Amino acid sequence: MANLIWLTVLLGIALTLALHVQAKDVFAHFILDNGANFTQTHWTRDFTTAKSASIDAFALNTGYGPSNTYTLLNDAFTVAATLDFKLFLSLDYSGDGHWPPDQVIKILQNYSNHPAYYKLPGTNKSLVSTFEGYESLNDWTNIKQKLPHLFFVPDWSAQSPASLVKDTVVDGLLSWDAWPYGSDMMNTSADERYMSALKGANKPYIMPVSPWFYTDMVRYQKNWVWQGDDLWSVRWDQVMELEPEFLEILTWNDFGESHYIGPLHENELGIFDYGQAPFNYAEGMPHDGWRAFLEFRVGEYKNGSGMGRIEREGVVGWYRLTPGWACPAGLTTGNAVSQGQRTLPPGEVLTDTVFFEALLESNAQVEVSIGGVNRSVGWSETPQGGRGVYYGHVPMDNRTGEVVVTVSRDGRFVAQMTGESITTNCPDKLTNWNAWVGSAMANDTNATTSKASVEKSGAAVSGGRGAGFGLWPGLMLGLGLGLGLGMGMGL
């Protein structure tokens, strides 16, 4: 009898751990101001696209002051509810207007109980985040007293996570440390500091994942690049290594900082005029290809290595359209003075390289052609067991012309991406440090395309929403299930 009881308890704990793993969700940061011209049709398009990439919710970056905020949010939440897509507010304290606490309460009263508002798995807690705003820490005690159903996970990256977790008003933390320093490869030291501090307090971590960073906005006194290159590939490997409770992709549509993964739409690019950019460095520079393998990546993150779904094999390539030596850098620096960093030439941060990934059921060969000169190249990273995402790169070597990445297996064609040409043309006599990203999937009708258009059907194998990341709710459910099973066995 005692052995059966212990077996039941162990089974309950095992179920708890399984539910804990399944609680992982993936968010994408959405700049509401860039959707100022959105109608419900636009929201439908973007939500559908995000769902096909296995994104669970948008974090709506919302500044205080714009007159159309409530109109946009009303449309967004209405459409999200019809599509079973989730949204939550990320209150931006860094812009022109500081969020008064009574206005925070007002906007959260309006939306945090909406059917489309994101709730923590297995709870009725509504997630709310911030971008900066640590100086308003004391506001949140009163806000949460009035709205006790809130689950507050701010980004206060200027403060140490060890100091922040001591404050009971903070339920978890989001980091904005998504880019490496200078020419260094991205590491996980910042993530580990967060996770170590939060683990001791039994609070969750939202880990940031970003593919790129380049901005040149005179109005905001921003003009620098951070190392992108292989960042998208490296960062997903780090996600699998650390297995955080949640992920936030930075971003869906921040075109002014070049780290968007959402589709380019003409009615969203007004930031370049408003920000007084010298030229529109997002125009003609799609990043859709970075979504191409998200269904697989997210499936692995939620369910374990090798557990992602491969609907079709394919290839993705990304690179800059002008070599660093071809055009003036202007006042753009590598690293940012405003972030307390030592600057260096941007050409020392971003390399003249073509990067590529392939999603494959088994190993295959890859060739890269630049300007008609074809070269067989090896993979730099291969997945354990042979199934998954392969990664490689090849230097431009001062070559210009059309870029073609071809994947084949045993002499048979798998997929081929034909990308935009590398040239020495200089937009507004300056270097565009943004990346061009393209993709092609197996059996595409037009397999050699310069348009990064990825269409998918079905959802990732996500395992559904679990019972939450906290121990006790899951443990009680696990024990209940275990005892129920035990009683069914005749205990």
pLDDT grade for 167, boundaries at 50, 70 and 90: confident
Q: What is the pLDDT of residue 324?
A: 95
Q: What is the pLDDT of residue 97?
A: 66
Rounded distance between C-alpha atoms, residue 327 and residue 340, angstroms: 27
- CA Rg value for the chain: 23
Rounded distance between C-alpha atoms, residue 208 and residue 250, angstroms: 7
Q: How many CB atoms lie within 10 A of CB 374?
A: 11
Render pLDDT for 85-108 as a digit per residue (tens, 0 to 9). 999 999 999 976 689 999 999 999
Q: Is residue 154 over pLDDT 60?
A: yes
Q: What is the pLDDT of residue 3?
A: 45
Q: Is residue 452 over pLDDT 70?
A: no
Q: What is the pLDDT of residue 231?
A: 98
- Do residues 367 and 318 make contact, with C-beta atoms less than 8 angstroms apart? no
Pinpoint the residues of the chain covered by CATH 3.20.20.80. Answer: 22-303
Render pLDDT for 231-244 as a digit per residue (tens, 0 to 9). 999 999 999 999 99
Render pLDDT for 251-274 as a digit per residue (tens, 0 to 9). 999 999 999 999 998 888 999 999
What's the whole-number mean pLDDT along residues 383-401? 96
Query: Pairing relation of β-strands 57-63 and 25-31?
Result: parallel
Render pLDDT for 104-140 as a digit per residue (tens, 0 to 9). 999 999 999 999 999 999 999 999 999 999 999 999 9
Q: What is the pLDDT of residue 210?
A: 98
Domain with residues 22-303, CATH architecture: Alpha-Beta Barrel (3.20)
Q: How does DSSP assign 291-302, residue by residue?
A: GTTHHHHHHHHH
pLDDT grade for 446, boundaries at 50, 70 and 90: very low
Across 11-15, 385-389, 402-406, 462-466, least confident range: 462-466
Q: Is residue 149 over pLDDT 80?
A: yes
Percent with pLDDT over 70 in the chain = 85
Which residues on adjacent β-strands are paired with residue 388? 360
What's the whole-number mean pLDDT along residues 399-426? 96
Q: What is the pLDDT of residue 413?
A: 95
Q: Is residue 448 over pLDDT 70?
A: no
* Average pLDDT along the chain: 87
- Overall size of the chain counted in residues: 491
Q: What is the pLDDT of residue 96?
A: 64
Q: Is 488 left (phi over 0), alpha (psi -120 to 50) or beta?
A: alpha
Q: Is residue 485 over pLDDT 60?
A: no
Which residues on adjacent β-strands are paired with residue 27? 57, 248
349 DSSP assignment? T
Q: What is the pLDDT of residue 6?
A: 44
Q: Is residue 433 over pLDDT 70?
A: yes
Q: How does DSSP assign 409-440, residue by residue?
A: ETTEEEEEEEEEEE----GGGS---PPEEEEE
Q: What is the pLDDT of residue 145?
A: 97
Residue 214: partners with Cβ closer than 8 Å, 6 or more residues away: 224, 225, 226, 228, 257, 258, 281, 332, 433, 434
Q: What is the pLDDT of residue 467?
A: 29
Q: Is residue 191 over pLDDT 80?
A: yes
Q: What is the pLDDT of residue 166?
A: 87
pLDDT grade for 437, boundaries at 50, 70 and 90: very high
Q: How many CB atoms lie within 10 A of CB 427?
A: 16
Residue 273: partners with Cβ closer than 8 Å, 6 or more residues away: none
Q: Is residue 491 over pLDDT 80?
A: no
pLDDT grade for 33, boundaries at 50, 70 and 90: very high
Rounded distance between C-alpha atoms, residue 482 and residue 488, angstroms: 10
